[in-house]
């Protein structure tokens, strides 16, 4: 696998949570489908279990994307927060929630209320180790978002998560296939101290009012990952002139793809790699 380059002749296509228009988000099945759709890499989310294992999960609870709401173990031990359960316990869950669950649901089937007798490995909550192995097997790159565990989660998890991620990436020999990102910019500062060879990106919300160049440089980040809705060509040009990559999320409409590409973004995080490739 070639090393990841953040700045190329055209924007890299990053399949958001594996490509959540294609399969259950943040599952190995979604990753495989994002690959089949032609994505260059994928974006995913990492947090910790009770026993300190790294898992792939976006929300800070298990209810939306798994069947934890009906599983006896999790019903009897509410709330269904990942840091309250071991990896072996979380492996009992099905993450086969597709189409993506909305609130309220807009379709009759409700897979989060099902209790299958067996769960295919590609439809469980994956570990980061599983995800890195399959990423390497498919010859893709990976954007690992470390969830902000500095609020509403025991402090020990926030203190250990960055080093655990960087150590695992290094152990897998994937330092050059990865970019690590987070809304917690202190995590990005820490990542650069521990593993300066690994790319980092700062995440900001759509309504971000700060200076992206200053924010990125403050933590030695290589990239800015903004919500795309209020981006302008002027801002993108200034970020690029500072030598910083820019990979906005979550870009699903062709008109937005065309405009952002013209303005010079270096990557596009999308639910629909099959449509914008």
* pLDDT of 111: 86
Where does residue 262 rank: exposed (0-12), middle (13-18), buried (19+ CB within 10 A)?
exposed
The answer, yes or no, to whether the previous bond of 238 is cis (omega within 30 of 0) is: no
Helix (H, G, I), strand (E, B) or coil at 69: coil
Q: How confident is the model at residue 100 (pLDDT cuts 50, 70, 90)?
A: low
**109-129 tens-digit pLDDT:** 788 899 999 999 999 999 999
pTM to 2 decimal places: 0.97
**163-216 tens-digit pLDDT:** 999 999 999 999 999 999 999 999 999 999 999 999 999 999 999 999 999 999
Q: What percent of the chain has pLDDT over 70?
A: 97
Exposure pattern of 18-29 as b/e (b: 16+ CB <10 Å)? bbbbbbbbbbbb
* pLDDT of 156: 98
The answer to whether residue 104 scores a pLDDT higher than 60 is no
The answer to whether residue 94 scores a pLDDT higher than 80 is yes
Strands 223-226 and 178-182: unpaired
Of residues 252, 271, 268, the one with CA closest to residue 260? 268
């Amino acid at each position: 696998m070639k090393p990841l380059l953040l700045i190329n002749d055209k924007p890299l296509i990053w399949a958001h949570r594996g490509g959540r228009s294609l399969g259950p988000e943040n599952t190995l099945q979604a990753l495989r489908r994002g690959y089949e759709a032609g994505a260059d890499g994928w974006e995913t989310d990492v947090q910790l279990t009770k026993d300190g294992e790294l898992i792939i999960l976006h929300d800070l609870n298990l209810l939306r994307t798994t069947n934890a709401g009906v599983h006896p173990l999790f019903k009897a031990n509410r709330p269904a927060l990942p840091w309250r359960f071991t990896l072996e316990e979380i492996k009992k869950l099905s993450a086969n929630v597709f189409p993506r669950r909305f609130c309220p649901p807009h379709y009759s089937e409700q897979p989060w209320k099902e209790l299958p007798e067996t769960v295919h490995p590609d439809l469980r909550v994956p570990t980061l180790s599983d995800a890195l192995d399959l990423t390497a097997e498919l010859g893709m790159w990976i954007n690992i978002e470390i969830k902000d565990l500095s609020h509403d989660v025991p402090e020990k998890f926030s203190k250990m998560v960055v080093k655990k991620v960087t150590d695992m990436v290094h152990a897998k020999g994937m330092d050059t296939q990865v970019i690590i990102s987070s809304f917690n910019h202190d995590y990005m500062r820490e990542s650069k101290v521990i593993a300066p060879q690994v790319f980092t990106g700062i995440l900001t919300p759509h309504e971000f009012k700060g200076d992206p160049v200053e924010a990125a440089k403050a933590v030695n980040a290589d990239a800015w990952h903004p919500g795309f809705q209020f981006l302008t060509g002027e801002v993108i040009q200034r970020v690029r002139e500072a030598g910083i990559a820019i990979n906005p999320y979550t870009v699903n409409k062709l008109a937005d793809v065309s405009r952002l590409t013209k303005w010079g973004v270096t990557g596009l995080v999308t639910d629909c790699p099959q449509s914008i490739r």
